[in-house]
A and B are shown apart, each in its own frame.
Chain A
């Protein structure tokens, strides 16, 4: 009697937990399918390669696509070397002392700062104090700092997962510490680092709040010509056309959401594939 009872409890409990997982997953899949479905019909060559016109109510979204590409590349230029170097420091050089704990605390805090606060910071430091103006440069720098914690923590984890024996053998063969890191450790940790970099950049590509006051432009008649120009960007463009433009055709809104989603999903899938392939191939 008692035994049956607790098995009933287990069955009920498992059902409840499974339902929760299902209710978490269905909206994710639903959202993606819904946007693919609704936005699909807006996609045409003209939409992807044309400039917006008629107050953005017609035409394409090329400047926003190019702008997001520029911002993503700009973010990578700053955050990838800095993030990987910081991860190397934490994984290979730092000893467990108070300073290292302070660095870790700083990284945790960077990860938690609201994106709009990054926007304020970028406005204060890059746009106004350093006089970069509202520009791709200022926006990229702001996004880089926001992206750093993701890159640092995944890269560090990946570096740490390389077995100690690799280091011992390399050093015993006469390699210096840096040679060991560059030729052996980085090579082995590369897939993990790459995954972290892509996930970090994916976040940067989809962010709106940090670029609102640092680099995003409502509308530009031509493509930005230098890092000191402002730029249109897909997430900001979606925000603008879904809230600021009256009588905006719904097709263009869904189309823009679809392009942004595909941009971000592609990065996400690449990262997932790299990670799972590296895991499958790992011999240690």
Chain B
């Protein structure tokens, strides 16, 4: 009996260990399959064509620049909305709101994070875009700006929860020190708490941007899907098309193994690398900051 117990314990421990390692396996598998299906692009399409400004797959124009600029402009707009509102809400929840208010606000923001993006896209089509078309007097309401507005809403919960954690982690003694020196509550937030939580807030911003750039359904439904270069400020108010939307809209209609299919995987690879870089930078910022804090406190 002793023996079977040890054997069971051994097997279970190994299983648990394997599950722990599985995350690494999955990231590797995802990268491998994106490379496997995406890299043939480089053999099938020349670099000059790939980096051109025309995306028209039916006639073999695979310029991905309009898609990249489309993603960038929508994400930039989303960040301009999500960063101030996200950090503002995080400050309110963590520093200003009374306890009962905090108990209501936190689940509400979490709820926004859980709203399916397709529902936001649906409201974008039926409510937001007709409103913007009339309000801003545009030829169409399906623009990059519409996408930014909704994406901002999608990125806000990420920014709020990460930034709020960072503010929460600032030791109470910092605030008490500032109050003891005669600083107002506001001065304490602005000059002490926020700077002390700086790295966490930065992480929040990066993760929010990462969330926005990878969002698919909402942008596909509301940005008008026109693959044109978005390099002027005015492009914000005209239709664009993002990398994610292109994959989602076109993958269903291509033949497996065709050039178009490979290019779509190639775009997926680019998206994977962007999110990889954003996350590595974001987590190394946290890591460095933690080390510094440990040094100060020890």
Contacts and interface: CB of A to CB of B under 8 A. Distances in A.
B147 interface: no
Contacts of B264: 120
Given A24-B89, A93-B13, A34 B114 contact: no
Contacts of B280: 105, 109
Q: Which of A17, A35, A202, A272 has the most CB of B within 10 A?
A: A17
A178 B12 contact: yes
Interface string A179-218: 0000000000000000000010011011111001100000
A123 interface: yes
- Secondary structure at chain B's binding surface: helix, strand, loop or mixed? helix
Contact of B217 (A29, A121, A209, A272): A209
Contacts of B30: 113, 117-118, 121, 145
A120 B247 contact: yes
A28 interface: yes
Interface residues of A, number: 90
Interface in B206-260: 207, 210-211, 213-217, 221, 244, 247-248, 251-252, 256
B29 A125 contact: yes
Contacts of A16: 88
B112 interface: yes
A277 B19 CA distance: 30
B265 interface: yes
Interface stretch (B47-55, B132-140, B166-174, B268-276): B268-276
Contacts of A104: 283
Contact of A213 (B12, B251, B272): B251
Contacts of A203: 114
Contact of A112 (B5, B88, B275): B275
B17 interface: yes
Given A14-B96, A93-B13, A120-B265, A86 B210 contact: no
Given A20-B84, A86-B19, A25 B215 contact: no
Interface in A8-29: 9-10, 13-14, 16-18, 20-21, 23-25, 27-29
Contacts of B58: none
B96 A24 contact: no
Contacts of B179: none
Contacts of B21: 99, 103
A82 B88 CA distance: 37
A53 B295 CA distance: 67
Contacts of B186: 6, 9-10, 13-14
A223 interface: no
B23 A17 contact: no
Contacts of A120: 33-34, 37, 247, 251, 264-265, 268
B84 to A, nearest CB: 7
Contacts of B207: 112
Contacts of A89: 16-17, 19-20
B156 interface: yes
Contacts of B118: 206, 208, 235-236, 238-239, 260
Contacts of B97: 21
Contacts of B256: 128
B23 A152 contact: yes
Nearest to A9: B186
A169 interface: no
Interface string A49-86: 00000000000000000000000000000000110011
A148 B244 contact: no
B237 to A, nearest CB: 21
B26 interface: yes
A176 interface: yes
A181 B158 CA distance: 32
Interface in B11-63: 12-13, 15-17, 19-24, 26-27, 29-30, 33-34, 36-37
